[in-house]
Chain A
Amino acid sequence: MRRFTSFNLVALVFGFAFLYLPILILIIYSFNASRIVTVWGGFSTRWYVELMHNESILDAAWVTLRVGLLSATIATFLGTLAALALVRGGRFWGRTLFSGMVFAPLVMPEVITGLSLLLLFVAINFDRGFWTVTIAHITFSMCFVAVVVQSRLLSFDRSLEEAALDLGATPVKTFFAVTLPLIAPAVVAGWMLAFSLSLDDLVIASFTTGPGATTLPMKIYSQVRRGVTPEINAVCTILVALVTMGVLTASIIGKARAPARAP
């Protein structure tokens, strides 16, 4: 029998207060009527209205969304293939190098990933902008997708695939009829992870971007360096709300699916 003591309760309350209070304060102050960030001047939504008229922030948001959707989709495709290669690929030439390349970006400092990709784009004379940021995001987020999908591939029952093969399905058909539906939750989770990594990235985008491709984190960063502004509070609140809704939706969908899955 586990005992939940009052000390445990205190730890929980303090721990979660520490995690959530800063974000909560940010949200509250985004509705502050006063321009001075630290003075409460009554409730108002004026910063959200101003935000809707701020072309440069809206542009940056649009760029970020396009980069995120495109890079997450391609990264999910590549990462799933990489996971399949690692788990089902058998022995192939340069396997160690391949798995090294899949896992290295997970622990590479972002500054190094960004710097090395920029030097590549300069070396091959590739115009920097939307596409270079997208390629950079695909490259580092596909590795996260690969790890998520790989753990799912390792954990499910291979006899289902063998049954399909015994019943005369081709390996390719087996993949689409049996394997893919089984790893689908991991693929979806991988896509979400890749998308949120792309939305969140400042360092790699700063290195690999060019004129006309300023992402939202870069915009926020350049504003923040000049000081805290209520508009940025409003941007951050919207982002937090979107992410929270996304994560909650995903978990509810996951729960709804859970009974349908075989134990």
Chain B
Amino acid sequence: MHALRSFLARRVVIAIPYLWLAVFFLAPFLIVLKISFSATAIAMPPYTPVFDGLATLWERVQDLSFDNYVWLTEDALYIKAYLSSVKIALISTVITLFIGYPLALAMARAPDRIRPILLMAIILPFWTSFLIRVYAWIGILKPEGLLNQLLLSLGLIDQPLTIINTDWAVYIGIVYSYLPFMVLPLYATLEKMDYRLIEAANDLGATPFGAFWKITVPLSVPGILAGSLLVFIPAVGEFVIPDLLGGSDTLMIGRTLWVEFFYNRDWPVASAVAIVLLLLLVVPIVIFQKMQQRASS
């Protein structure tokens, strides 16, 4: 009796989240895939169904249309948007690394008593709304914003800089929003590092920088990779930051998809854009998983 009950309990425990995800994650994904292969029609919903009805498999295959995907390659806009998303995400990731590394190192070297407080202080901004953090930068970067006022009053510039609505504002926004993601894995690896290795290097006559470059950096490579991927992957599909801080010429694929869907109402093309974006992200994610497995073994 008990055995039967626990057997049933286990079944139920697995079935509930399984069903939920199948209905609200897998099914929607398959619908996107299906619509990306259907022809655009001016109807509500704006697509013509492909797999409906009791057509034979062969007829269905014939009905599949790669038009939307062909369209993506023909229109330079999409290719540009993909490339520029990757470029912006890459540049932002590198800047985040250069700002995050010294910060993580300093946190790892800080006295034991204040380390938890510093960790808390890194995590806290992550809990405050993303939108608010991006919005805060608008007031700072505007032509009449605080940064320009400060630089003008210091006499460093005589003309307000145009930062907002350029790619630079997008870099700043991404770096600012994702800095905790870079710092946390870096801090985790740097904190575990055996400091005696540095002492040994110093005893053998290495300069402080030499010891850092030859010992600290190589040992923190897993943290560098993990942090960089945690910044790069979400940055590629970013919508809010380019939309609020970027200019009309800031092309990012998340925003392109948004426009395609909400303004052009072209669902099949939007779906095709989504599928290609996913394929683009599969590569770094697989790398990340391989790394995780290596780290755990």
Contacts of B16 in A (CB 8 A): 78, 81
Docked pose: A206 CA to B125 CA in angstroms: 24
Closest 6 CB pairs of A and B: A109-B237, A15-B103, A116-B28, A11-B102, A8-B106, A82-B17
Question: Quick one: which of A94, A199, A240 has the most chain B CB within 10 A?
Answer: A240
- The yes or no answer to A156 lying at the interface (CB within 8 A) is no
- The yes or no answer to A253 lying at the interface (CB within 8 A) is no
Q: Which of A108, A110, A115 contacts B261 (CB 8 A)?
A: A115
Q: Which of A29, A119, A202, A207 contacts B31 (CB 8 A)?
A: A119
A171 and B176 in contact, given A25-B140, A37-B139, A244-B124 (Cβ under 8 angstroms):
no
Contacts of A2 in B (CB 8 A): 108-109, 195
- The yes or no answer to A139 lying at the interface (CB within 8 A) is yes
Question: Quick one: which of A3, A29, A119 has the most chain B CB within 10 A?
Answer: A119
Docked pose: A136 CA to B25 CA in angstroms: 9
Contact residue range for chain B? 35 or more
Minimum distance in angstroms from A195 CB to a CB of chain B? 10
Contact with A along B21-62 (1 / 0, CB 8 A): 110111111011001000000000100000000000000000
- The yes or no answer to A107 lying at the interface (CB within 8 A) is yes
- 14 further A-B contacts with Cβ under 8 Å, apart from A7-B102, A220-B132, are A1-B199, A8-B110, A11-B102, A25-B140, A82-B21, A94-B18, A97-B26, A119-B31, A200-B129, A221-B131, A224-B135, A228-B135, A236-B129, A247-B124
Chain A positions near chain B (C-beta within 8 angstroms)? 1-5, 7-9, 11-12, 14-16, 18-20, 22-23, 25-26, 29, 37-38, 78-79, 81-82, 84-85, 88-90, 92, 94, 97-98, 101-102, 104-105, 107-112, 115-117, 119-120, 122-123, 135-136, 138-139, 142, 146, 170-172, 196, 199-200, 202-203, 207, 217, 220-221, 224-225, 228, 232, 236, 239-240, 243-244, 246-247, 251
Contacts of A5 in B (CB 8 A): 109, 208
Docked pose: A101 CA to B258 CA in angstroms: 24
Q: Which of B13, B102, B127, B129 contacts A217 (CB 8 A)?
A: B129
Contacts of A38 in B (CB 8 A): 139, 142, 144-146, 149
| Prevailing SS type, chain B contact patch | helix
Contacts of A109 in B (CB 8 A): 234, 236-239, 254, 277-278, 281
Docked pose: A172 CA to B8 CA in angstroms: 10
| Prevailing SS type, chain A contact patch | helix
A81 and B146 in contact, given A26-B139, A123-B31 (Cβ under 8 angstroms):
no
Query: Which of B65-73, B74-82, B220-228, B267-275 is the contact stretch?
Result: B267-275
Docked pose: A79 CA to B20 CA in angstroms: 10
Docked pose: A228 CA to B254 CA in angstroms: 23
Chain B positions near chain A (C-beta within 8 angstroms)? 2, 5-6, 9-10, 13-14, 16-18, 20-22, 24-29, 31-32, 35, 45, 99-100, 102-103, 105-111, 118, 120-125, 127-133, 135-140, 142, 144-146, 149, 176, 179, 183, 195, 199, 208, 233-234, 236-240, 244, 254, 257-258, 261, 267, 270-271, 274, 277-278, 281, 285
Contacts of B124 in A (CB 8 A): 244, 247
Docked pose: A15 CA to B122 CA in angstroms: 9
Question: Quick one: which of A12, A79, A109 has the most chain B CB within 10 A?
Answer: A109
